[in-house]
Amino acid sequence: MSDLTRKTAAELAELMTSGQASSVEITQAHLDRIGAVDGDVHAFLHVDTEGALAQAKAVDGKRAAGEQLSPLAGVPLALKDVLTQEGVPTTAGSKILEGWKPPYDSTVVKRLKAAGIVILGKTNMDEFAMGSSTENSAYGTTHNPWDLGRIPGGSGGGSSAAISAYEAPLAIGTDTGGSIRQPGAFTGTVGVKPTYGGTSRYGLIALASSLDTPGPCARTTLDAALLHEAIAGYDPMDSTSINQPVPAVVEAARNGDVSGLRIGVVKELGGEGYQPGVEARFHEAVELLTKLGAEVVEVSCPHFEYALPAYYLILPSEASSNLAKFDAMRYGLRVGDDGTNSAETVTSLTREAGFGAEVKRRIILGTHALSSGYYDAYYGQAQKVRTLIARDFAKAYEQVDVLVSPATPTTAFAIGDRIDDPIAMYKNDLCTIPSNLAGNAAASFPCGLADEDGLPVGFHVMAPVMRDDLLYKVGAALESALAEQWGGVLMTKAPELEVTR
């Protein structure tokens, strides 16, 4: 049997259906791979060897008993450490939650379990998903498997690194401003931010409630679609969940026909500040889609330039309130409880010790932005910008079916490069943030390697609310056209990691 870790999720499912491999074998192969390479990559914060093998065994048992199983039953997956899984340590990349074992499953985890998907462990991330590199994790930086000296993107760098290091065929990320798509772009993998409300936030440790969206990460478009279908859909536990059928994402991923599809290139997302190699690959991909029959036009979204500042008011405002619950009273870290300190002092000491610098920066920013006398100027104005951006999208979608742009202005940068310059770090998300503000669906698909550094470039597709299927349609078309050039998906061009064990 060829290396099981090189297979796609769809291929693994087929191997199990046809009896050529068991979930236990597949799971073990991935656990072995984690053991072999994660010392260098550091994609995982916690590997649940026992739990994963038990789940795999259960799925094999059901299959042997002839039970009807979900398409991805038995396929292993890496879970971003921001989603609760009952009894499994969940930290959100923060010291303040060290050692906390949630007493309940997030809805995403419930659905993964129901689909028989095997959860290998929890992946690294920037603390509370604040960051674009995983350098803000309290537990060390994840390394990009394409170049271990570089960051894998963030906040969900652990999830994307895990799949690009073949430690898992699938991963779950969460996207608040690009935390699925930017790591996807930086690691040559597929990252999809579903429509806000299309996937449940219940059990997702909130960064910014009005922006957070769980979604799939995979090495192929079809795998991402299969995972999307497994986790998406209405959840009565999440009031912002959309009570509509899940868009036909798998069908779209299987049939990447873009002839007649109207594609709008966003004028404002390109030019100055964009790496030439990124722009080159992006424009080639657009041309490719034109050749495949898509109608490409340029569209203007004039308010996108205000998206970043608006985002950095809305996000910290919501985050400052969401993170208030970490007060040392009920769970997690507790500092200074020596019998003489008041509850207030213990809360204060714990937050001082438990939160990292970026988290504190955003709490202070958000607290200020919501303060009386400043609210209208900051939070209020930012919400107006949000409305204007949503209108830009609505207007654009009158002309075209989807919008496209590079996923990021640059390729993956070196570890330590931007850690002291928050603004430079924030600019990573220029292209991805508008979709979060408007609640639209968006995704990043690999579209080649930049000439300057040989690193992956992401092709960003944005679609209207609950038209996630269009993302997959474009992604599948691009993937199959590019595969002819590359002889497979872009990941096949990634350098082999040294096996350290």
Partner 1 sequence: MTAAVLELDDALATYDPVLGLEVHVELNTKSKMFCGCPTEFGAPPNTQTCPVCLGLPGALPVVNAKAVESAIKIGLALNCEIAEWCRFARKNYFYPDMPKNFQTSQYDEPIAFNGWTEVVVDGETYRIEIERAHMEEDTGKSTHVGGATGRIHGASHSLVDYNRAGIPLIEIVTKTIEVPPAKAAAVARAYVSMLRDLLFALGVSDVRMDQGSLRCDANVSLKPHGSTVLGTRTETKNVNSFRSVERAVTYEITRQAAVLSSGGKVLQETRHWHEDTGITTSGREKSDADDYRYFPEPDLVPVAPSREWVEELRATLPEAPSVRRARLQEDWGFTDLEMRDVINGNALEPIVATIELGVTPAAAKKWWLGELARSANESGQDLDALGVGPAEVAEVQKLVDDGTLNDKLARQVFEGLLAGEGTPAEIIEKRGLALVSDDSALLEAIDRAIAANPDVVEKVNSGKPAAAGALIGAVMKDMRGQADAAKVRQLLNEKLGI
Catalytic residues, which ones?
A: 80, 155, 179
Burial of residue 179, with CB atoms counted within 10 A of its CB: 0-12 exposed, 13-18 middle, 19 or more buried: buried
> Minimum distance between the CB of residue 244 and partner 1, rounded to whole angstroms?
14
Q: Which of residues 376-395 bind partner 1 (CB under 8 A)?
A: 379
> Minimum distance between the CB of residue 13 and partner 1, rounded to whole angstroms?
29
- Contact track, partner 1, 189-208, x by CB under 8 A: ------------xxxxxx-x
Nearer to partner 1, 238 or 279 (CB): 238
Nearer to partner 1, 103 or 273 (CB): 103
- Within a 13 Å sphere around the CA of 299, how many CA atoms are in the beta-carbon half? 25
> Minimum distance between the CB of residue 314 and partner 1, rounded to whole angstroms?
9
> Minimum distance between the CB of residue 84 and partner 1, rounded to whole angstroms?
5
Q: How far apart are CA 29 and CA 122, in angstroms?
A: 17
> Minimum distance between the CB of residue 236 and partner 1, rounded to whole angstroms?
7
Nearer to partner 1, 325 or 501 (CB): 325
Q: Which of residues 319-338 bind partner 1 (CB under 8 A)?
A: 320-321, 324-327, 329-331
Whether 126 contacts 151, CB under 8 Å:
no
Question: Dihedral of the CA atoms 436, 440, 446, 452 (nearest 10)?
Answer: -50
Q: Which of these ranges, 82-90, 222-230, 277-285, 395-403, lies near partner 1 under the rule CB under 8 A?
A: 82-90
Segment holding 473, helix H or strand E: helix 468-486
26, 77, 88, 92: which one contacts partner 1 (CB under 8 A)? 92
Strand order in the sheet with 441-449: 44-47, 118-123, 76-80, 170-175, 213-218, 190-193, 441-449, 456-463, 402-406, 262-266, 295-299
Burial of residue 54, with CB atoms counted within 10 A of its CB: 0-12 exposed, 13-18 middle, 19 or more buried: middle
76, 102, 198, 406: which one contacts partner 1 (CB under 8 A)? 102
Q: Which of residues 335-364 bind partner 1 (CB under 8 A)?
A: 343-344, 347
Q: Which of residues 235-294 bind partner 1 (CB under 8 A)?
A: 236-240
SS3 helix, strand, coil % of the chain, rounded to 5? 45, 15, 40
* 371 part of the interface to partner 1, by CB under 8 A: yes
Burial 75-92 (b: 16+ CB within 10 A, else e): bbbbbbbbbbbeebbbbb
Q: Which residues bind partner 1 (CB under 8 A)?
A: 83-84, 90, 92, 97, 100, 102-104, 106, 201-206, 208-210, 236-240, 317-318, 320-321, 324-327, 329-331, 343-344, 347, 367, 370-372, 375, 379
